[in-house]
Homo-oligomer: A and B are copies of this chain.
Amino acid sequence: MIAQLISIGNEITSGQTVDTNSAWLAQELAEFGVTCVRHQTIADELEPIRHAIDDAAGRSDLVIITGGLGPTPDDLTRQALADAMGVELLFHEPSLAHIEQYFALRKRHMHEGNRHQAYIPKGGDALHNERGTAPGIRAHLQNADIYCLPGVPSEMRDMFDVHVRPVLESESHGDATRIHVLHSIGMSESEIGERLKDMMRRDRNPTIGTSASELVISIRIVSHAESSVEAQRLLQADAAEIRDRLENTVFGEADETLESAVGRMLLDQRKTIATAESCTGGLIAKSLTDLPGSSAYFKQAFVTYSNESKTALLGVPEALITEHGAVSEPVARAMAENCRTRSGTDIALSATGIAGPTGGTPAKPIGLVYVGIASKNETVVKELRLGENITRAQVRGRTVKVLLNLLRLKLLKRERPDAD
C-alpha cells in the first residue's frame, strides 16, 4: 500500500517549526507494510491545500493530513477537503455537542470559531477527539482513504492510535515490511555503492539505500514479503551479506552510535580510558561520557588547550613543543603516553590539531590533526588531513569520529578474551 502525508500550516512552511509528525507517521505506517512516498507541507491557503489533497489522492491508497483543523479562519483543511471531493460541508450535531462539553468541563468560554470545527465534508465521517476540540475526518477521494488529524503531535498520535491503527491492522494481514539500518565508518559512500551495486538495484527486494552524515554512512534495508517471518528472513540475509562485504567498517545497527559501540567494547573488555585533548577541547571526553554507565570505563580527561597546560598537566617537555610545535606527532605521542601513566588507565587517547578557521599555515594547514592511542604495549599516532574547506565544528567532530574508529579497530583485534 502506498501512502502520502500532508501537513498544514504556515508555521511549518515558513520554517518556524520543523515538521516531526510526518517522520513519526511514516515509521508507524512502515510497520504495516505501508510505504510513504511523499510528504507535503502546505501553507494555510485554500487552493494549494485542495490541490495537494487532490494530487496525493490520485497517486496513493492512503492520505493522512495533519493540522488545519483548529477554530481560527486560517484553519482550512475541512473546506479544502470538501472542495477536493466536490461536496459541501455539513453540520455534524454530535461533534458540536462534544465541543460544547469539552469547554463546559473545563469551565472555559466557547468561541464562535469552535462551532466551525463541527462541519464535516458530505460523505465523510467525524472522528472523535478525546483530547481536544477538533474532530478528525475520515473520507474517500478517488481511490484513496483520507484521514484528517490534528496538528498537535500528542493529539495526532492519540487519534492515529484510536482511528487509523486498527484499520491498518485489519487490512495488513498477509503483507509485511521490515526495516533495518546498519552504520559504517571508514569507507566512502561511493566505495560502498560499488561493493553493494548489485544489491542496490531499484527493482530488488529488499531495497537498499545509503545516507551519509559526518563520516558515518548508514545503510538502510527494507524488505517486503507476504509474511513477517519471510520479511525478517530476507532482511537478515541481506544484513549478513552487507556486513560481509563492508568488512570491519560496520560498527553498529539501528540506534547504535560509534560512541555507544566503542563504550560497549570497553565495557565488555573491562578496559579503562582517559583522554588528553587540545584542539577537541573536551569533545572526546564529552562523547565518551554521553552514555549512561560510562563511569565504568571513563576515568578522567586533561583538556590542555594552552602550551603551558600541556607541560604542567601532562608533563609534555617544553623543548618538544618548541622543537616540533604543539601540533606534531611527538607531542600527540607524549600527550597520550603521559595521560595514560598519570591516569592509571589501560588506554589513553590524545588529539592536537588546527581546528581553524584561522591559524593554518602551508606546512600545518587547517584540518591537520594528530591523534594518538596509548596502551600498555604500544602507542599509535596517526596524522589526519581533514581538509581545509571544513568548519571548525567539523574538524573537531571528525577528529573524534576518526579517533574513536581507530580505537574500535584496535579493540576489535582483541575482542576474544583468549587473545588478551
Contact = CB atoms under 8 A, between A and B. Distances in A.
A156 interface: no
Given A302-B302, A302-B303, 20 more contacts: A10-B220, A11-B211, A12-B39, A16-B209, A37-B48, A38-B41, A38-B42, A71-B193, A106-B387, A111-B188, A113-B190, A131-B389, A152-B212, A281-B288, A281-B289, A285-B305, A289-B305, A298-B305, A300-B303, A301-B302
Interface in A14-72: 14-20, 22-27, 30, 35-45, 48, 51-52, 55, 59, 70-72
B286 A11 contact: no
Nearest to A46: B202
Contacts of A200: 72-74
A20 B41 CA distance: 13
Contacts of A112: 194
21 contacts: A10-B207, A10-B209, A13-B37, A15-B25, A15-B26, A18-B19, A36-B43, A38-B40, A38-B43, A55-B55, A71-B190, A72-B192, A152-B213, A281-B286, A281-B288, A282-B283, A286-B286, A289-B303, A300-B309, A302-B302, A302-B303
A394 B52 CA distance: 33
Q: How many copies does the complex hold?
A: 2
A292 B360 CA distance: 12
A188 B108 contact: yes
A414 interface: no
* A contact face: mostly helix, strand, loop, or mixed: mixed
Interface of A: 9-20, 22-27, 30, 35-45, 48, 51-52, 55, 59, 70-74, 106, 108-114, 130-131, 133, 152, 154, 179, 181, 188-194, 197, 200-202, 207, 209-213, 218, 220, 222, 275, 277, 280-286, 288-290, 292-295, 298-306, 308-309, 312-313, 343, 356-358, 385, 387, 389-394
Given A282-B289, A289-B282, A73 B193 contact: yes
Contacts of A38: 13, 40-43, 48, 52
Given A36-B13, A72-B193, A299 B292 contact: no
Nearest to A286: B282
Contact of A59 (B22, B51, B111): B51
Contact of A39 (B40, B44, B295): B40
Contacts of A212: 70, 152
A390 B9 CA distance: 24
A145 B35 CA distance: 31
A20 B23 contact: no
A246 B99 CA distance: 24
B298 A281 contact: yes
A40 to B, nearest CB: 5
A43 to B, nearest CB: 5
A168 to B, nearest CB: 15
Nearest to A290: B393
A194 B111 contact: yes
Contacts of A73: 193, 197, 200-202
Nearest to A38: B42
A111 B282 contact: no
Most buried by B among A188, A190, A213, A302: A190
A285 B281 contact: yes
